[in-house]
Amino acid sequence: MSIYTKKGDRGETGIYRKVEGKSVRLPKSAPLISAIGAVDELNSYLGIVSAFSEGLPLVKKEIERMQINLLNIGSILAGSDLKFSKSQTTHLEKLIDLLDTEIPPLTNFILPGGSKTASLFQFARALSRRAEREVVAYSESGKVKPSILTYLNRLSDSLYTFARWANLQEGGKEIIWIVKKR
């Protein structure tokens, strides 16, 4: 089977959904396709974070779980009948709580950066927020399960917490954002 089908050459793509027994094709600019694409972009970038997180086995394990969840979410958005359990969000909350016991309390905003892994996590957090915005935008006209919206919101929180934790593990410096009035 060839990787290219030429079916998308005119700016459309197919999804799982069927209407009257026929597969649905949508413009690649459709809000649903933008939402699925943003989730895919985040998933791909998490692969980069994992690849550069040598020496942090917890990161690799948790990113793999996140990536599976993101593939499931993309599949559900495209019309598959997969289920998405709120237990995935509960898992992220427990992970955040665990990591929070190891990092100093946050009293100010911090600049994204620090160690290599922390910087990668900060960028993943920004991509996660974009994916969430795209899925929320689609949900205004389409049906999105609340468990997916909640998971995407909590995912960015967990990526932020992982960034702070990675800074601690790798000796990165958190730079406090201080507002200077001019």
Number of other CB atoms surrounding residue 36 within 10 Å: 24
Task: Please report, for the chain, the start and end positions of each structural domain, with discontinuous segments joined by +.
Answer: 14-87+96-170
Tens-place pLDDT, residues 90-125: 999 999 999 999 999 988 999 999 999 999 999 999
Coil vs helix vs strand at 133: helix
- What is the CATH number assigned to the segment(s) 14-87+96-170? 1.20.1200.10
Residue scoring higher pLDDT (23 or 31): 31
Which long-range CB contacts under 8 A does 104-108 form with residues at least 24 apart? 104/168, 106/164, 108/176, 108/177, 108/178
Residue 160: partners with Cβ closer than 8 Å, 6 or more residues away: 121, 122, 125
Indicate whether 28 pLDDT > 60: yes
Model pLDDT, residue 1: 65
Indicate whether 2 pLDDT > 70: yes
Model pLDDT, residue 50: 97
Indicate whether 4 pLDDT > 80: no
